[in-house]
């Protein structure tokens, strides 16, 4: 199934490609399958591209692009050995990264000042067990 998905994604991710086809494939696959698919995509381009990069180049900036990038990011594995990460670890890492970005934006928005912003970020990190 990886080979078939890879072939269809390559067609869908060409300039002026088929975002409906890309969406159907990416949204219907598990995080593990997406991780394997991203690795195979990188191999097929000799390491010059990834699914994330191809999506950014092909799908116009907006909600669809953000959604597809979020889905692909959920399939990436972390750790010395790419097979090491569990689905839970993958999802937690991605969501923690999103939370950190949101906290930074919130802290810099002017709604919260100085020490209060740092305290809010520290409390939130403690809640999710992420430092």
Same domain, 3 and 51: yes
Total-model pTM: 0.62
Written as one string, the DSSP assignment of 46-109 is TTS--HHHHHHHHSPTTHHHHHHHHHHHHH---SSSTTT--HHHHHHHHHHHHHHHHHHHHHHT
The parent domain of residue 50 ranges over: 1-59
64 occurs within a structural domain: no
Supply the Cα-derived Rg of the chain in whole angstroms: 17
**Of 59, 85, 100, which one is at a domain's C-terminal end?**
59
State whether 46 and 90 are in the same domain.
no
Total of domains in the chain: 2
User: For residue 72, is it within any domain?
Assistant: no
Q: Do residues 126 and 84 both lie within one domain?
A: yes
Q: Give pLDDT tens digits along the chain (131 positions).
A: 899 999 999 999 987 778 899 999 998 988 888 888 999 999 999 988 889 999 999 888 888 888 888 888 877 765 544 455 555 555 666 677 777 777 676 666 665 555 566 676 676 666 555 55
Whether 119 is in a domain gets the answer yes
């Amino acid at each position: 199934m990886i080979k078939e998905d890879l072939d269809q994604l390559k067609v869908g991710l060409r300039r002026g490609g088929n975002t409906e086809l890309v969406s159907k494939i990416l949204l219907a696959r598990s995080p593990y399958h997406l991780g394997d698919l991203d690795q195979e995509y990188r191999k097929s381009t000799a390491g010059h591209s990834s699914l994330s990069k191809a999506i950014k180049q092909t799908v116009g900036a907006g909600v669809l692009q953000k959604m597809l990038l979020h889905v692909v990011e959920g399939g990436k594995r972390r750790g010395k050995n790419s097979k090491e990460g569990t689905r839970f670890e993958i999802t937690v890492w991605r969501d923690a990264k999103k939370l950190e970005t949101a906290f930074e934006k919130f802290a810099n928005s002017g709604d919260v000042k100085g020490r209060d912003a740092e305290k809010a970020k520290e409390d939130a990190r403690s809640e999710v067990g992420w430092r």
